[in-house]
Every structure is written in structure tokens, then in C-alpha cells.
Amino acid sequence: MSMQKPSLREAILNRRMLICVFTGFSSGLPLYVLIQLVPAWLRVSGVDLATIGFFTLVTFPYTWKFLWSPVMDRYTLPFLGRRRGWILVTQVGLLLSIAALGFLQPAMSIGTIAYLAGAVAFFSASQDIVLDAYRRELLPDSELGLGNAIHVQAYRLAGLVPGSLALILADFLPWETVFVVVAGFMLVGIVMTLVIDEAIREPRPPRTLAEAVIEPFREFLGRKGWRAALLVLAFMVLYKLGDNMAVALQTPFYVDMGFSLVQIGSIAKFSALVAAVVGGLTGGVLMIRTGINRALWLFGVVQVVSILGFAWLSVSGANPWILGLTVAFEYLGVGLGTAALTAFIARETNLAFAATQFALFTALASLPRTAANAVTGLIIEQTGYTKFFFLCFLFAMPGMLLLLKVAPWNADNE
């Protein structure tokens, strides 16, 4: 006899969803320290833009985290269990390394700051490995959509601490105090780690490190077959390609359209944040009813159509109303599409190798963002904005077509 599917209220209002809030916040905070707070601090301290630009290289651990994820799958620390022990170590490392940044002087210690920022990125990427694995082990398949959507939106909201609160405090407090305050927010995650239990009471880690490296790939290929596995991996890369390209240089696009920095900050950024959060949470709730496959189709259509809003804005000029509508609709698609793709990635992992497979799949999914940042400027210079956004629309089509193979409408694997 099959188990009864939980009600919508039971799926939303349970302890697992609350844990996803805390995992998302703990995961997002250090990334936004690196991409928002540190660049602002360096610039205010008189560091030149070229040097600040090179600081983006310290985030490479997020792309290469799958290289050391087998170690975290194979070995269990002698406290708190298989996942919680690693989570606590990375969180304490983040608290100390973020706090230490503020005690350095950019004018005199820029090299040391770079190394310390690299340590923050390493601890952050390592925390993501075990938090993703823990969340995969925690959530039943019927809750993967909502749980991952809540995690993603809490991740985004964490950016308000280093991106807004810290910058406001910096007008009144010394930088070392600001960084200590921001680092203190990691206590949210540390308390969570100490309070929760292991998701799997009797884990069966790989017996050797070689097994931890080889078996995740062998298991995935054996379960899917070579052809299906390659299609799934291609889908993870292509599903958000057009969307990532469209938003890669959005702020310069708004400036070129004639919007003031105040309009961009107040209209575009606020509309983006609200729409992305609403889209992600709405998507999570809808996935409970529709399933992940149908959500990928429905949310993918919204994601693709929303790209055309930028083409509309590019021929409308500096109209604040069209700016707000365009950005809100685009980030609604971002929130929906990200929630569905993250749930799909979680479903494609095997619980026995969750850390390594999740790390590899999320690294693949991040490739379009890196590629988009590298080439979109060259394309825009050749085509202009309007044609560029229509190209982004076309680039989104292969990912949608792959849904026919990797996530058929009527074949949800709940």
C-alpha cells in the first residue's frame, strides 16, 4: 500500500522547511561578503578598480568544489556525525576568516587580504558541499521542490547583511567592527548545526577514498546510461543559458538606456529582489502539486518569455515603469527557473554520493554564468542590445527542447 501524499499545509509547515531557511542563509552570507562587502571596502579604502576586479578570482573554489567533495563524502569527523561535523568546521572557519578581514589594512596588506578572501571562498564552497548533501538526505522527493526553493531564497536574502546592513554600519563604525558583526551572523548556522540531527541515522559512506571519487560517476552513468547521462548534463548547462546571458551586463544596459543610478538602485534592484523571492517561493509551492518535470516546463516558458522584456525595454528608452515591469518579470522567471533546476539537480543525485554528485552538478549549472560574463560584452558591441536579447531568446531554446528527453511532461519521477 502506497503512502499518502502529505497535504500542502503539512509540506510547507514542517521542521525540514525551517532547516532549509537556515541552510540557505548560512550558505549565502559568505558569498555576498566576497562579491558585495569586500569590493566596497576595498574601493572606499582607495584600492584601484583593476585590483578589485582581480579579486573575483578568489571565488574559484565554488567552481572546483567537486575536486575535494569526495573527501567530505568518504571521511566522517569524530564529532556530530557524517555531515554535521564538516558543517560545523566550515562554519567556524567562516566566522573566524570573515571577522579577520576587517583587521587588515587594504593599502598595506592587499596580498594577505586576497589569501584570506580565498580562505573564505574555500570554507564557503566546502560548506555548500555538505549543506547540499545534508538537504538532499533530509528532504523526501515530494518536498525537493519547495525545500530547495526556500533554501535558494534564504540564500538571496542573506545578501542583505553584507550588501546593505554592513555598508550602512560602515558610515558609523570602524571596518573591523563591521566585519565582526557580519561574521557574527554565522552563529545562526552554527546554532542550527548544533540543534539539528543527522538526516540519515545510519549512514554508509564509501569504504575508500578511491571509491568516493570513482563510484559517484560510475553510479550516475550506470543508472542513466551514457546517452541519457550526457543529455542530463547538457540540460543542466543549457537550461538557464539564455537567461544568464540576458542579465550578465544588466546594470551597464540600464545606464546606457539613460536611467540614473538612483533609478537603477531603487527600481531595478528592489524589483529584482522581490520578484526573485516571490517567484522562488511560489515555484516551490507549485512544484508540490505539479511535480518537478512539469515545473521545469512551466517555469522554463516564463523564464524564456521574460527575456523578451529586455528587448522591449531596449526600444522604449528610459521609462521607469517599463524598467520596473521588465525587471520584475525577468526575475520572476529567474526565481521560478532556479527553484525548478535546483530541485531537478537534487533529484538526479544518489543519496549514497550526494556530496560529490551535487557539487559536480551545481558546478556544471554555474558554467553558463561564467561564460555569459566573458562574452556578452563582445556580442552586444557587434549586434546592439535589441538583437542581442533576441539572440538570448534563441539560446534558451536548446535547454527547453532537451526537456523532451530529460523531463517529459507526463513522466515525473516523484
User: Count of CB atoms within 10 A of residue 208's CB?
Assistant: 11
66 and 356 Cβ atoms separated by less than 8 Å: yes
Query: Is 89 within the bounds of a domain?
Result: yes
Cell output for 339: 527553484
Rounded CA separation 382/367 (Å): 23
Q: Which of 146, 177, 205 is the last residue of a domain?
A: 205
Q: Is residue 412 part of a domain?
A: no
Find the range with the poorest average confidence among 44-53, 70-79, 312-321, 341-350: 44-53
pLDDT at 397 over 80: yes
- Contact, 55 vs 35, CB < 8 A? no
The region, left, alpha or beta by phi > 0 then psi within -120 to 50, assigned to residue 291 is left
Q: Is the model more confident about 281 or about 398?
A: 398
CATH assignment of the domain containing 333: 1.20.1250.20
What is the average pLDDT value for the chain, to the nearest integer? 83
Number of domains forming the structure of the chain: 2
pLDDT for the residue numbered 185: 96
Beta strands in 196-290 (DSSP E): none
Question: How distant, in Å, are the alpha carbons of 27, 58, 254, 363 from that of 375?
Answer: 28, 20, 18, 19
| pTM, two decimal places | 0.77
Residue 303, all three cell numbers: 523564464
Q: What's the Cα-to-Cα distance from 34 to each of 67, 158, 238, 265, 311, rounded to whole Å? A: 21, 13, 27, 20, 32
28/124 same-domain check: yes
Q: Is residue 411 part of a domain?
A: no
The secondary element (H helix, E strand) that includes residue 14 is none
> 258 or 126: which carries more pLDDT confidence?
126
Residue 269 and residue 318 in one domain? yes
Task: Tell me, yes or no, whether 45 and 133 share the same domain.
Answer: yes
- Convert the pLDDT of each residue in 135-146 to its tens digit: 988 888 778 778
Answer yes or no: are the C-beta atoms of 286 and 404 closer than 8 Å: no
**Is residue 280 domain-shared with residue 327, that is, in the same domain?**
yes
Asked whether residue 238 is assigned to any structural domain, the reply reads yes
Instruction: Quote the pLDDT of residue 34.
Output: 87
Per-residue confidence at 92, pLDDT binned at 50, 70, 90?
very high
Three cell numbers written together for 33 = 561578503
pLDDT in tens, 203-238: 677 888 888 888 888 888 888 888 888 999 899 888
The tens digit of pLDDT for each residue in 151-199 reads 887 887 888 788 778 888 888 889 999 999 999 999 999 999 999 988 8
pLDDT at 179: 95
Dist CA 316 CA 323 (whole Å): 9
Among residues 205, 230, 257, the one where a domain terminates is: 205
Q: Say yes or no: 218 and 241 in one domain.
A: yes
CA distance 247 to 253: 9
How many angstroms separate the CA atoms of 89 and 123, rounded? 9
Helices and strands of the chain, counted as H and E runs: 24, 0
Same domain, residue pair 307 and 259? yes
Residues 223 and 353 in one domain: yes
In a domain, 388, yes or no: yes
d(CA 201, CA 29): 29
Same-domain check for residues 114 and 182: yes
Report how far residue 381's alpha carbon sits from residue 306's, in angstroms, rounded to the nearest whole number.
Answer: 22
Specify whether 263 is located in the same domain as 172: no
Query: Per-residue pLDDT for 264 more than 80?
Result: no
Contact 363, 65 (CB under 8 A): yes
The last residue of one of the domains, among 190, 205, 220, is: 205
Report in angstroms the alpha-carbon separations of 222 from 227, 228, 301, 363.
Answer: 11, 10, 31, 21
pLDDT at 2: 44
The residue range of the domain holding 383 is 210-406
Report the range out of 110-119, 278-287, 319-328 with the highest average pLDDT. 110-119
Same domain? 28 vs 46: yes
Rg (CA), the chain: 21
Per-residue pLDDT band at 1 (split at 50, 70, 90): very low
Task: Express each pLDDT in 309-350 by its tens digit.
Answer: 888 988 887 788 888 888 888 777 777 787 788 888 888 888
For residues 183 and 300, membership in a common domain is answered with: no
Q: How far is CA 242 from CA 126, 209, 362, 372, in A?
A: 29, 38, 17, 9
- Total Cβ atoms within 10 A of residue 108: 9
Amino acid at the residue 57: L
